[in-house]
Structure 1
Amino acid sequence: MKEALTIGTGAALGALARYALTALLSAAGANPLWPLLLINVAGSAAMGYAKPGKFWGTGVLGGFTSFAAFALLTYDLDAGWALAYVLATLIGCVGAYLLGHRVGVQK
């Protein structure tokens, strides 16, 4: 039960951080696609860099990044834009993780 509360607390904090950053960038006029891509790439880089445990990794970064929002926003795009966004997310997130891993904390 303690582990579930630890991860749940981290996930709530990560989701709040994602919401705040999305609201901030959207208020600046950004299309909702780009803040989400930035968040997912940044979260992937942080995961690769720090190789965090359950609170920071599964919890905070799991709550910060969002596959569900990615799926919803991608669904609403035309087929060509959807493919481009999926590829940008896949390449960006995997590339960011690998880069973070290369320069990050070695455990």
Structure 2
Amino acid sequence: MYSFLLVGLGGAVGAMARYGVGRLVPIAGFPFATLIVNIVGSFLMGVLIAVLSRTLVAWSNEARLLLAVGVLGGFTTFSSFSLDVITLAQRGEWFAATGYILLSVVGSVGSLALALWLARGVI
């Protein structure tokens, strides 16, 4: 239960930060705010995981849940996606990493398009 609380609190902070970036970055016909959030969130995930991987203190798992899963997961799920890709690549699983990228991007965009099509045209 404690783990869920850490993730939930962090997620709320991350979601509010994402919303804040969206409010600060002017809308100009291109999703700059989303692009910024994805790039910054992925960078922060890399820094956090590097720091946590070198830290063997008792609170490392709690910090990972609060900051990586919660805050950065709420800020952008793209950071988790990026970490998954890099983890697969570091294991030498290039085929899996490439497949994961393609399936995630094409599958996500395709499923959203399908849902819109169904909701607008069929239902």
* Preserved CA contact (<8 Å) 1:22 1:32: no
TM-score normalised according to structure 2 size: 0.49
Cα 1:13–1:32 shift into 2, 3 Å: farther
| Alpha-carbon distance between aligned partners in 2 of 1:32 and 1:19, rounded to the nearest angstrom | 16
Q: Could you give the per-residue CA deviations for residues 21-80 of structure 1, whole angstroms, max 9, x where no partner exists?
A: 111113xx444511101101100010011215110000000000156xx967xx68xxxx
Gaps of 5+ in 1: 77-107
Q: Which runs of 4+ in 1 moved over 3 A?
A: 29-32
TM-score normalised according to structure 1 size: 0.56
How large is the RMSD of aligned CA atoms in angstroms?
Answer: 2.3
Gaps of 5+ in 2: 53-63, 79-104, 114-123
Report 1 or 2 for greater relative contact order, CA contacts < 8 Å, sequence distance ≥ 6.
1
Cα 1:17–1:31 shift into 2, 3 Å: farther
The aligned counterpart of 1:17 is 17
Give percent identity, aligned residues only: 37
The aligned counterpart of 2:3 is 3
The aligned counterpart of 2:36 is 38
Indicate the SS of the match to 2:25.
Answer: helix
| Alpha-carbon distance between aligned partners in 2 of 1:30 and 1:55, rounded to the nearest angstrom | 33
Q: Could you give the per-residue CA deviations for residues 70-100 of structure 1, whole angstroms, max 9, x where no partner exists?
A: 967xx68xxxxxxxxxxxxxxxxxxxxxxxx
Within-5 A mapping of 1:1-107: 1-26=1-26, 29-31=27-29, 33-51=31-49, 53-66=64-77
